[in-house]
Amino acid sequence: MAPQKDKTVDTVNRGHCAIGLAVRVSGIVGGMLAGANAGIAETTDGAWDRVEEISVTVARSEERALQPAHTLDEQAIERRQPTDFTEVFRAVLGVGIRTNSRGEAVLRLRGSEERQSQIFIDGAPISVPWDGRADLSLFPASFIRKVNILKSAAPIEYGANAVLGVVDISTYEKADAFKLNARSEMGSHGSRLVEGEVFVPLDGASLQLGGNHFKRDAVTVASRDPIPFDPLAGDGRTNTDLESTSFFGAAALERDWGSVRISAMDIDAKKGIAAAAHIDPAEGNPRFWRYPDWHMTQISLAGDISISEATDLRINSWHQRFSQQIVSYGDVSYSVAEERQDDRDRTYGGRLVLSHDWRHLTTRLVTSLQESTHTQTETDLLANSSGDPDRFRQRLFSIGGEVDIPISDRVKSSFSVAYDRATTPLTGGRPMQDAISKWAAAGATEWQATPDLTVTATIGQRTRFPTMRELYGNALGRFLLNPGLKPETALVGDITFAWMPTDQPFELTVTPWFTRIGDTLSQRNVTVDGIARRQRFNLDGSRGVGIEAGIVWQASSAVTLEANAFWQDLKADRDAEGNRPTLYQRPQSQLLLAANYETPGGSSLRAEMNHLGQAFDENEDGTLARLGTSTEFNVKFYMPVKQTDYGVWQIYGAVNNITDTTILPQLGLPDAGRTFKLGIRLKSD
């Protein structure tokens, strides 16, 4: 008889904590309160990924109705044997990962464009505001303790730009004893990993420290057919080496009045960027780039205080320092450097949430502010001359309120409204962009139809403002500017049916959803003086419908089976000439089948199949190209070998894309072919 699942999945251990931090934002904004990390959730252990309603950034309460979140706890993450963030999110329902032409591994939720969803670590956004994206391949997975994935209209705590979903990551560790984790790993194309971390509990406090070093020589190629102009022989991709060193630290203090936690992350990397090798360099214009210096430091401060029995104050603040060098070469030999772009970004931000429980309802006041300054210098290396630094600045402000209304014992609703505003006071000498402001609203209703069936409906309208790069960046002369870009507005909604029968060893979720996006941002080819350039512009809009479903079956005490299916139909509105533009790189379907086998001795084996459906892309000449379907098979395992006072030594390994299938999410930039890794680690009990 399979063990029954513990239904108390909403057990939220909110550390009641508080702190105020005066952050100097600019000469105009003198300071603001901020902090980070509230609502750290603890849930009962399970042998499968669970749909839970907990979040690092958004507080969950008995009265609040929130869209269900797909949650990965430590056990679920461990089964994936991830080295970096990308391996955590691959084969997750409704989540897509691809590496773009700038070499950035980016994430999409339900077919969204990557800037339409946001990623938070300990309550702070990690996307570089200049571009609105983060390269997930450079973030080590060892820092992650829990992941919440919210698809649909995100709660207003996440601020502007989180229009089609949020990934909320927690590094929070809580234990009563000293913990030590370490591992060493080797794999395909000379990949090497060494990392370690410690957790030290103190009297009413705790300390976490960790470090990571990773290096690889190249990315594996399954077939050279999609990249005929990559000259490297064998199964490696030209100019895809990577080396990174990361450090992480956190300190938490807990007292009767609450708790406070500060966390810091530093990543120092250098890497090559694969050229779009489907383009003939003699006829087209592929990028031949390297990033000799990529560096991000992010500090987050978090708190949550109970002012009274009925009133809570949560505050978050963050400071991000980012710098990178982009060096452009003349050809695929990468022997002659022609141009260099030096970028430096400084970002300050904060969020304040004041909640109060009235007699029959709960209210929240939410405000957030973020300012980012980008400095960019371009150097002609052949002429040995540098231009003057260009400075850009963007401010994002949001203020809103939410109310929770318990309608009956089995029905509760939450409604919110927010005002978002974006300004760009510095434009690097480009034409000024007018201030943009939009209203946002959302609603969620949760109905406990039966003890086993929960139905949750959400609807909301949110805004994504153009990034500074979309407004003013020219990417070493590749882009034609369009300062008249408008913000995207997204109306999104879904209904989730979650069935978890108490007398059966399985759980089932089904979610039909829709999106309606106005002024969808896209790209087009424009020829100026005989030179082809790309330009960002607003489509009239786009719409989409889809459905996702997942089932987890505890077939026995040792075997868990998973099946996830995702389908979507996304279409752009017709333009003035009656033509319907194509939305590129949006796979129509996704299917995951997985089996997990776990022994009483602590060994684990996971086998999975991940199928990706058809999508489209744009050739260099503007014609339409079809991206084929693909199916990959992966196997991952870990096995204990020795118990020690500090934990258990394990051997672990993985073989991904066993059949060496070509996976093509974007023209000229296939995903890795067959790869393997093997390692040994010490894991605390």
> What pLDDT digit, counting tens, does each position of 573-589 carry?
888 788 888 888 889 99
Identity of the amino acid at 597: Y
In-domain check, residue 427: yes
Q: Please report the pLDDT score of residue 250 as a whole number.
A: 96
In-domain check, residue 29: no
Q: Please report the pLDDT score of residue 359 as a whole number.
A: 84
Confidence check: pLDDT of 11 > 80: no
Give one DSSP letter per residue of 356-417, joined into a string.
EE-SS-EEEEEEEEEEEEEEEEEEETTTTEEPPPEEEEEEEEEEEEEEEEE-SSSEEEEEEE
Each residue's pLDDT tens digit, 312-332: 999 999 999 999 999 999 999
500-504, 525-529, 634-638, 644-648: least confidently modelled range: 525-529
Each residue's pLDDT tens digit, 521-540: 777 777 666 666 677 777 78
Radius of gyration of the chain (CA): 24
pLDDT higher at 338 or 623: 338
Each residue's pLDDT tens digit, 278-309: 999 988 888 899 999 999 999 999 998 889 88
Mean pLDDT of 241-264: 93
Reported as a pLDDT band with limits 50, 70 and 90, residue 50 is very low
Which domain range does residue 506 map to?
50-683
Neighbour-count burial of 283, counting CB atoms closer than 10 A to its CB (0-12 exposed, 13-18 middle, 19+ buried): exposed
Q: What is the CATH number of the domain that holds 587?
A: 2.40.170.20
12-26, 186-200, 223-237, 260-274: least confidently modelled range: 12-26
Give the C-alpha separation, 74 to 57, whole Å. 18
In-domain check, residue 113: yes
In-domain check, residue 440: yes
pLDDT higher at 510 or 259: 510
Q: For the chain, how many structural domains are there in total? A: 1
Task: Write down the residue that tokens 């229009």 correspond to.
Answer: 163
In-domain check, residue 407: yes
pLDDT higher at 32 or 267: 267
Instruction: Please give the DSSP secondary-structure letter assigned to residue 220.
Output: B
In-domain check, residue 19: no
Q: Please report the pLDDT score of residue 316 as a whole number.
A: 93
Confidence check: pLDDT of 402 > 60: yes
In-domain check, residue 40: no
Each residue's pLDDT tens digit, 136-180: 999 999 989 999 999 888 888 998 888 888 999 999 988 888 999
Q: What percentage of the chain exceeds 90 in pLDDT?
A: 63
Q: From residue 48, how far is each of 31, 174, 321, 358, 551 by CA, in Å?
A: 45, 21, 37, 37, 10
144-148, 439-443, 486-490, 654-658: least confidently modelled range: 486-490
Reported as a pLDDT band with limits 50, 70 and 90, residue 484 is confident
The pair of structure tokens assigned to 525 is 């080819």
In-domain check, residue 485: yes
